[in-house]
Structure 1
Amino acid sequence: MSQLLERARYLLSAHNAGQLPEDGGWEVAFAGRSNAGKSSALNALTRQNALARVSKTPGRTQQLVFFEVQPQRYLVDLPGYGYAKVPQELQAHWQAFIDRYFRTREALKGLVVVMDIRHPLKDYDLQMLGYAVNRGLPAHALLTKADKLGRGQQAQTLQKVRKELASRFADSVTVQAYSGESRQGVDEAREVVGGWLGLNPAVADETPAG
């Protein structure tokens, strides 16, 4: 089912609520600190080299970017947070926009929070996970750049993060180690996202209810 993610194509960028697609489909949002590897993860999950722009400039994603997988099924790239060089007024706009998106968007079916495995569970990461949990949505913590650590360190960090998430959010958040470079965990992440979007033959042919 996850092979359908390879069909993802850029649809639109939304700077305010009025630019969002009609709220009647299925969406999975991706959030993460600047340079945590969010764009690289989107590219790896869709097996495309340049679906999402990869940049070393913090805050490059400055809108909600929608990628259409199938009609009314979308991947949504949220603005990277931790953008020190972005004007405070723009930060406030994004915060309000994203807050409204999470509170009111009926199409939202799940959230992937991308974190550098060497620096997981920062305040903003926990805030984003809290948005999903408060809405009763599933969330998945993607610990990127796992290739930067040895297997022992990976396992230790994964266990620590899993324990912290369980204490804060019960069983609402799943977690995995991931590396776009080595392809570690790519298939696992694709199954999670594909499942939330209903990308299996029985469900994929249905029109999502509004």
Structure 2
Amino acid sequence: MDTNDIEKTSLEKANWLFKQDCEFLRGVEKASDLPAYNLPEVGFIGRSNVGKSSLINSLTTRHRLARTSNTPGRTQQLNFFNLNNQLILVDMPGYGYAQAPKQLVVNWTQLICDYLQTRINLKRVYVLVDSRHGLKPNDDEMMRILDQMAVSYQIVLTKADKIPLKQAAAVYEQTKEKIKDYTAAYPHIIMTSSEDKRGIEQLRLAIIEFVNSPPS
């Protein structure tokens, strides 16, 4: 079997898995309520209204698995989803929402940090960045936190359908250059759109290959 055949088989397996049953397990607002699961986990985080819930719905071929909203700051807890008893997907609270009450922001931040520090089964965090805007100071702050906690993460550019291809390519290159200084950032960036589905299969494959890879 040559390399192309192996890649095709791996993609077919990834697509198959993400089309299997995926159910909401629970939402968590306090670190003391974090559940214990024996499955590997991947988390999704990003600025408010970056398209996190839409991306999770696209990955799992569901329309309403994760609740979507045009209102920033809608996700106010860690939401856990079980993918075919093989993988836990975690929709994390959005950050950077200026209108959120200060105490709520403090609570979100503490919850996220507690989660990152304590989750033994957390394999990788996918940091979602709106391709229309590129990396913002809040994204830099989150990546520094992930670096400090030695949590592996990968940048996923969202809403690529909202900008011309030339602009998307420029944002991709700018982002790739900016993350070189971050120690825990995986250097490969994935450009996605929940509307036209670009990059969705690529992200599925990246998740499965990383989760199934042997420990380094």
TM-score normalised by L of structure 1: 0.87
Q: Which residue of 1 aligns with 2:142?
A: 128
Q: Which residue of 2 aligns with 1:208?
A: none
Q: CA deviation at 1:22?
A: 0.7
Q: What is the distance in 2 between the residues matched to 1:117 and 1:171?
A: 18
Conserved? CA contact 2:150–2:184, under 8 Å: no
Q: What is the distance in 2 between the residues matched to 1:110 and 1:170?
A: 10
Q: What is the distance in 2 between the residues matched to 1:87 and 1:29?
A: 24
Conserved? CA contact 2:153–2:185, under 8 Å: no
Q: Structure with the greater relative contact order (CA < 8 A, sep ≥ 6): 1 or 2?
A: 1
Q: CA deviation at 1:116?
A: 0.8
Q: CA deviation at 1:57?
A: 1.0
Q: What is the distance in 1 between the residues matched to 2:185 and 2:42?
A: 19
Amino acid at match of 2:170: Q
Q: CA deviation at 1:132?
A: 3.1
| Aligned mate of 2:119, from 105, 116, 122 | 105
The gaps in structure 2 that reach 5 residues or longer are 1-12
| Change beyond 3 A, Cα 1:68–1:167 | same
Amino acid at match of 2:29: H
| Change beyond 3 A, Cα 1:133–1:25 | farther
Q: Which residue of 2 aligns with 1:52?
A: 66
Q: What is the distance in 1 between the residues matched to 2:47 and 2:185?
A: 23
Q: CA deviation at 1:173?
A: 4.1
Runs of 4+ in 1 over 4 A off after TM superposition: none
Q: What is the distance in 2 between the residues matched to 1:150 and 1:84?
A: 28
- Residue 39 (str. 1) matches residue 53 (str. 2): yes
The gaps in structure 1 that reach 5 residues or longer are 204-210
Q: How does 1:78-97 map to 2 (within 5 A)?
A: 78-97=92-111
Q: Which residue of 1 aligns with 2:81?
A: 67
Conserved? CA contact 1:59–1:83, under 8 Å: yes
Amino acid at match of 2:131: I
- Residue 155 (str. 1) matches residue 148 (str. 2): no
Cα deviation, 1:16-73, whole Å, max 9, x if unaligned, reads 1222221543110100111111111111111111111110111111100000113362
| Aligned mate of 1:4, from 5, 17, 24 | 17
SS at match of 1:197: helix
RMSD: 2.1
Q: Which residue of 2 aligns with 1:77?
A: 91
| Percentage identity across paired residues of the two chains | 37
Q: CA deviation at 1:131?
A: 3.2
TM-score normalised by L of structure 2: 0.84
| Change beyond 3 A, Cα 1:171–1:94 | closer
Q: What is the distance in 2 between the residues matched to 1:26 and 1:131?
A: 21
Q: What is the distance in 2 between the residues matched to 1:173 and 1:138?
A: 11
- Residue 141 (str. 1) matches residue 127 (str. 2): no
Q: Which residue of 1 aligns with 2:206?
A: 192
Conserved? CA contact 2:146–2:152, under 8 Å: yes
| Aligned mate of 2:195, from 160, 181, 185 | 181
Q: What is the distance in 2 between the residues matched to 1:170 and 1:106?
A: 17
